[in-house]
Amino acid sequence: MRMTRLFGQTLREVPANTEVVSHQLLLRAGYIRPLGAGIFNYLPLARRVLTKIEHIMRQEIDAIGGQEMTMPVVQPADTWKESGRWYEIGSEMGRFADRAGHDMVLAMTHEEVVASLVQKEIRSYRQLPALIYHIQTKWRDDPRPRAGLIRVREFTMLDSYSLDADWAGLDAHYRAHYQAYFNIYARCGLPTVAVAADLGMMGGKLSHEFMYLNPIGEDTLLLCDQCGYAANRQVATFHKSPALEEVQCTVEKVPTPGVKTIDELTAFLHIPRMKTAKAVFMVATIAKPHPATLGDVTQQFVFAVVRGDMELNETKLANAIHARELRPALEEEIRSIGAVPGYGSPIGVHDCLVVVDEAVAYSPNLVAGANEEGFHLLNTNYGRDYRAQQVCDIAVAGEGDACPICSHPLHTTRGVEVGNIFQLGTRFSDPLGCTYQDEQGQFRPVLMGSYGIGTGRLMACVAEQHHDEYGLCWPITVAPYQVHLVLLHGEPDTEQIAERVYVNLQAAGVEVLYDDRHERPGVKFMDADLVGVPLRLTVSDRASKRGGIELKHRTSKEMMLVGLDAVIEKVHAEIDQLTSTVNAMVKPVQCGEPKQSVSNAS
């Protein structure tokens, strides 16, 4: 491709409202252009990168038995209503009515479509196992798209779906995808770790997220360097410090004027935070099962209690009570259940769902609010003074908390989710009637797995990982071109040499971006660094007089002179070496329980 014909142009200045390096460089180098909030055009350079990423994806999924197909972006809402997710998912789902008034959905994922296909196509155990996949557009109306391609509203994903007759088969497919996904990331040059993840709107039995560790990530991860435990903070557990063994004492109301926070309370009473019970007031939106309309939901006041040395984990709470959304309660809502803001406790409240963290349940004689302005209660005890509808883990794991496996201190880091895999089990098979007939003639549900990678986000993360102060530095496996040929205009013979090299490289199967523009050398070199092609060949009068052309790696400052008759051979050798270096990062990994953490690239 000649740069005089390339659609798109480089930008000298960093565009406004760009907060991460990958966004800035992809814009400046002419890879992407925004159309709206979270909606991007992918220009020819980006399209070539995405095509290479998708090629790697196809190779790895084909290798584990995948069959590629294409499923629609626009879907009738009927199957979403049957699965229940039409009612469970909020405003992120794109909904509209067709001209006949039928409810329609813009695909945010394809489990319902797969389940409807299974219901029609799968009849016998002889048709299982099966693995189908596609690479398709998705829409999620994210309220806060950010960081360029890291968080968008329209995006493309690899979606793979496994279909099995039993849990052993599903587990085998899950493990195969676990390895295949690490292979994909390694071949793209991206280091990742796998962490236990929230099931979220997907449901099912087990999930892992693949994370690129980087401060730009919105996810907080808890990692243990001792045993390898790794989990997203949304679901991370930890070994909670035991309470002191004490005899339950009598409840005593004490004045605490103006004391409304845990810090103020511990300072006022000279007690540790773990001797207090923290009240958190929330209102949950809970969808009724299969209601007649989307609006048929209930608002439930939730009184959550955690120990004062911990914080509430809203994801754990939402999962525990099957809430679609959670929001902080208003003061008038708090008072309506008999509680007092700043002085609340579950003792004596009414018309609310009380959920207590397990640490509160086994910690005696905690200080809690008296539900009276300016007063607290000493020596409150769960089971004696109040009860809850649910006792479970609803606390956030944090830096320094004890690992749930080995008790070693956990540490936190930030990460970008670049993939997610789920053991769905019968989550979609049951409501949509996806069954097969086994060898005994009995009908059994098909067990499903779902596995996804966002292609645009993966490209952005590779850009985030591989750049320097001058621009992008693509790994050879996903670079838009393998060679950037730069002509420094001079003598007619020099231009003829450049044209001949361009033609010969293409004939030899080398992907070449040819800068034939009439620009200053500095501009051409700056653009070459910005675009980030791995190898640069420079044709100039100076090099021609020395009998060759100059070869330079994008990540090196060293130049080498290559004779004209050796250019093709040398370029092929360099491409092979770069490719081998990237592919050497592919290593076998173990997919264990959620504690497993793996990094397959440095």
d(CA 438, CA 188): 41
Domain that holds residue 562: 472-583
74 and 180 share a domain? Answer: yes
Output the CA angle 447-453-456, nearest 5 degrees: 155
The CATH code of the domain that includes 499 is 3.40.50.800
pLDDT of residue 291: 43
458 and 486 share a domain? Answer: no
How far CA 358 is from CA of 307, 353, 428, in Å, comes to: 9, 16, 31
pLDDT of residue 517: 95
Whether the bond between 129 and the residue before it is cis, its omega within 30 degrees of 0, is: yes
Q: Is the pLDDT of residue 596 over 50?
A: no
Q: Is the pLDDT of residue 458 over 90?
A: yes
Over residues 340-363, the mean pLDDT reads 96
- pLDDT tens digits, 544-563: 889 899 999 999 999 999 99
Over residues 44-63, the mean pLDDT reads 98
Residue matched to tokens 């009849």? 123
275 and 335 share a domain? Answer: yes
Residue 102 lies in a domain: yes
Element (H, E) at 32: strand 32-36
The CATH code of the domain that includes 168 is 3.30.930.10
Asked if residues 221 and 413 have their Cβ atoms less than 8 Å apart, the reply is yes
Over residues 71-98, the mean pLDDT reads 94
Helix (H, G, I), strand (E, B) or coil at 500: helix
Element (H, E) at 497: helix 492-507
User: From the centroid of its chain, how far is CA 171?
Assistant: 22
d(CA 136, CA 110): 10
pLDDT of residue 592: 56
pLDDT of residue 490: 83
280 and 365 share a domain? Answer: yes
How far CA 46 is from CA of 115, 204, 292, 483, in Å, comes to: 33, 35, 44, 16
d(CA 497, CA 502): 9
Helix (H, G, I), strand (E, B) or coil at 176: helix
Helix (H, G, I), strand (E, B) or coil at 402: strand
The CATH code of the domain that includes 316 is 3.90.960.10
d(CA 293, CA 295): 5
Pairing verdict, β 535-539 and 483-487: parallel
Report H helices in 388-479. Answer: 429-432, 455-465
Residue 293 lies in a domain: yes
d(CA 453, CA 447): 21
pLDDT-derived band at 197 (thresholds 50, 70, 90) equals confident
Residue 199 lies in a domain: no
- If we measure between CA atoms, which residue out of 521, 512, 514, 566 comes closest to residue 540? 521
Q: Is the pLDDT of residue 328 over 80?
A: yes
- Among 438, 464, 490, where does a domain finish? 464
For the residues of 386-430, what is the DSSP string, one character each?
Answer: B--SEEE--BPP-TTPBPTTT-PBPEEEEEEEEEEEEEEETTTHH
Q: Is the pLDDT of residue 495 over 60?
A: yes
pLDDT-derived band at 497 (thresholds 50, 70, 90) equals very high
Give me the helix-helix angle, 167-187 and 44-63, nearest 10°.
140
Helix (H, G, I), strand (E, B) or coil at 448: strand
- pLDDT tens digits, 301-311: 999 999 999 99
pLDDT of residue 199: 72
- What residues contact 202, with CB distance under 8 A and at least 6 apart? 109, 111, 422, 424, 427, 450
* Beta strand ranges found along 308-394 (DSSP E): 325-328, 353-357, 366-369, 375-380, 390-392
pLDDT of residue 200: 65
Over residues 370-388, the mean pLDDT reads 96
35 and 105 share a domain? Answer: yes
Asked if residues 158 and 135 have their Cβ atoms less than 8 Å apart, the reply is yes
Provide the whole-model pTM: 0.89
d(CA 254, CA 520): 80
Residue matched to tokens 């009998």? 547
Asked if residues 321 and 288 have their Cβ atoms less than 8 Å apart, the reply is no
Residue 212 lies in a domain: no
Q: Is the pLDDT of residue 595 over 80?
A: no
Average pLDDT of every residue of the chain: 93
64 and 88 share a domain? Answer: yes
How far CA 563 is from CA of 501, 535, 540, 569, in Å, comes to: 11, 16, 13, 10
Q: Is the pLDDT of residue 180 over 70?
A: yes
pLDDT of residue 310: 95
**Structural domain count of the chain:** 3
Q: Is the pLDDT of residue 48 over 50?
A: yes
Q: Is the pLDDT of residue 359 over 90?
A: yes
d(CA 316, CA 297): 20
